[in-house]
Structure 1
Amino acid sequence: MVRANRSRGRAARAREGHPELDVERLTTGWRRTEVRGGREWNVQPVSEAQAVKAYLCPGCGLEVAPGIAHLVAWRGDGVLGDAADLAARRHWHIHCWRIESP
């Protein structure tokens, strides 16, 4: 008797298709909240593929070049509201964010 190397489960899953992707969950799934200096910050990583523009890192003052993974951080507890906090977000080198206290 010939033995199949593939599990039968994989073929059954392929016939069922893939579930719909929830883009909102994917884009916000990595966002986290950190407390630094008594303030709450929203921190969201940006992958190399997502980094398409150049930004100035507030930690070191150098450019965060396109294609470099980095973090975007904004206040989570600002008094002017969520829209103002989001508009004031900054792009940080990962290392700078770890060693700096904004």
Structure 2
Amino acid sequence: MPRSNRRRDEGEPLDLERALAGRLRTEVRRDGTWNVQPQSAAAAIKVYTCPGCAQDIAVGVAHLVAWRADGIMGEANDLAARRHWHSACWRIGA
């Protein structure tokens, strides 16, 4: 298949929200080290239950996904145990 050499439109503004969405970071908390990844509103296509407040995170609501970075059962288990949090719930450490 031939390669596409299409250039990006230089006049097209950079969508900062899209560029920053999904940037994985590591946070150290009193209960361990966590991988935290923001989920943009556009990428939030399912309803999740926040473990901090036990309320639904509706479709189209930006939130965070968090999973252990220091789990003893291995990276695959840690990733499988990831949870979706309201940003405020994660911030207050609920």
Larger Rg: 1
**Cα displacement (A) at 1:29:** 6.1
**What residue in structure 2 maps to residue 37 of structure 1?**
30
Q: Equivalences for 1:70-89 in 2 at 5 Å?
A: 70-89=63-82
* Superposition CA RMSD, Å: 2.1
**What residue in structure 1 maps to residue 42 of structure 2?**
49
Structure with the largest fraction of helix: 1
Q: Rate the CA distance shift 1:95–1:27 in 2: closer, same or farther, 3 A.
A: closer
1:45-84, Cα deviation, whole Å (9 max, x unpaired): 0000000000000000000111000000000000000000
Q: Rate the CA distance shift 1:28–1:83 in 2: closer, same or farther, 3 A.
A: farther
List 4+ stretches of structure 1 deviating above 2 A.
Answer: 26-29
For normalisation by structure 2, the TM-score amounts to: 0.77
Identity %: 58
**What residue in structure 2 maps to residue 62 of structure 1?**
55
For normalisation by structure 1, the TM-score amounts to: 0.71
